[in-house]
Amino acid sequence: MKFVSTKNKIEAEAEEAIFSGTASDGGLFMPSVIPKIEPSAYNNTENFQLFSNKMLGVFFNETVLEDDLNEIVSEALNFEVIQRDLSKDQMPISLLELFHGPTAAFKDFGARFLAASMSKIIKKQANPKAVTILVATSGDTGSAVASAFHNRQGFNVVVLFPNGRVSPRQQHQLTCWGNNVVSVAINGEFDDCQRLTKEAFAQEGKFKNQTLCSANSINIGRLLPQATYYAWSSQRYFLKHGMQTSFIIPTGNLGNAFACFIAKEMGFPIENIVFATNANRTIPDFLETGFWQPRPTTPTLASAMDVGNPSNMERFFHVFDNPETLLDTLRAVSVTDEQITNQIRSEYLDNQILCCPHTATALHVYREFSNKEKKETHWCIVATAHPSKFEQTVEPIIGEEIAVPERLRALLELDSSFVTIDPELNQLIEAIASA
């Protein structure tokens, strides 16, 4: 499998696509083809790790990762994926819990796979250079990447996050690592962090003796493993109930959503994909008007989805040459902070479901469907993070304290440190050099 740029179709091997993050023409890497599979070939693969190894093999066969893929998957995806049935009154609905990894968010899947893959590739190089992983985060990405690369030989990590725009527990997770991880608070929004990251890659020569790599959702090495839980959960449900699955996905930068699209295109039993966004309406407005108009970020309760210029839309534009087909295929619903608040409260009181603000956006979208639409397919709500990461938002709404998972509690007990800068490239360079 080769990988191509969304811009000018520059072709690259797997290792170049993974380490470059973005192509030299400014595009994002895509598989040269999204391979079609026969779902029945996966019928006997109930174990998630074995399933993921088989599925990812079609992308990494005859690449530098082929011989190591089984070991990479076993190391990276070594935690539970739970699809919890919520069905009642003939309404087939599930909650796909993706927060059972080490940092209690779905970002653990891609970050851990990327770190394990990069480590294997470096070990095969004759004269490997030290690599600096540069990652912009609106919350969960940074902690997942920091955790995945922490103390890995040959890697340094620089995490950029918007100052005052993440929850206290999220910030602690971003800043508690030390050693090879540097945390930088940017006086601005997530889009400033993302812009600064892109500027750094464009002027990499200013970072002396450093090889920069991206670990954001734009990196194909993070995106592909995220497709596995959509394929696996839909396949398991189809075998049990004979129904295809439709997913409602909380989304900001669209990486997780595009991963689901990949699984659907491969041929797994996925029917509809609905994006749940917060008050940042770039995606819903585009689907309503046909005009792509990025805009400044609006802070919301679902902070990890506060993105005004979603990078992974580039991949959808690449796949759909005809804009009308794209508009007919995609569906997105914007959810306000008031609706998020009410949904968190009602899910807990009425359904005994504890959810984070991001998962609440998807639940709100589902609850607003008509009964007819709810019955037409199996709906699966994607739960992206553990609610205890957003205790200052969720606990006042439900009036109770949320139990913190042991893996998260251990991180919260560590000391934290970070530096604060304006969103200027020279300040970032200085912060990294003095770390």
Q: Backbone phi, then psi, for 218, in 5-degree steps?
A: -70, -20
End-to-end, the C-alpha distance of the chain in Å comes to 39
40, part of any domain: no
CA angle 384, 387, 388 (to 5 degrees): 130
Nearest to 435 by CA among 162, 140, 142, 183: 183
CA angle 288, 137, 115 (to 5 degrees): 115
| Amino acid 435: pLDDT | 67
Q: What is the token pair recorded at 389?
A: 């990461």
Place of tokens 């088989």: 54
149, part of any domain: no
Higher pLDDT, 412 or 274: 274
Q: What domain range includes position 74? A: 66-104+221-402
State the CATH number of the domain containing residue 302.
3.40.50.1100
Query: What is the rounded average pLDDT for all residues in the chain?
Result: 93
The pTM of the whole model exceeds 0.85: yes
What mean pLDDT do residues 44-73 have? 95
178, part of any domain: no
What mean pLDDT do residues 90-113 have? 95
Q: Compute the half-sphere exposure of residue 397: CA atoms within 13 Å on the CB side of its CA.
A: 26
What tens digit of pLDDT does each residue of 301-351 get? 998 899 999 999 999 999 998 888 899 999 999 999 999 999 999 999 999
What is the rounded distance in angstroms from the CA atom of residue 258 to the CA atom of residue 335?
20
Q: How many domains does the chain have?
A: 1
51, part of any domain: no
Higher pLDDT, 432 or 82: 82
| Amino acid 96: pLDDT | 98
DSSP 91: B
162, part of any domain: no
Q: Backbone phi, then psi, for 382, in 5-degree steps?
A: -90, 115
192, part of any domain: no
> Which residue type does 422 have?
D
33, part of any domain: no
308, part of any domain: yes
Strand partners, 31: 3
Nearest to 107 by CA among 168, 155, 149, 54: 149
Q: Out of 213-217, 293-297, 340-344, 402-406, pick the least confident.
A: 213-217
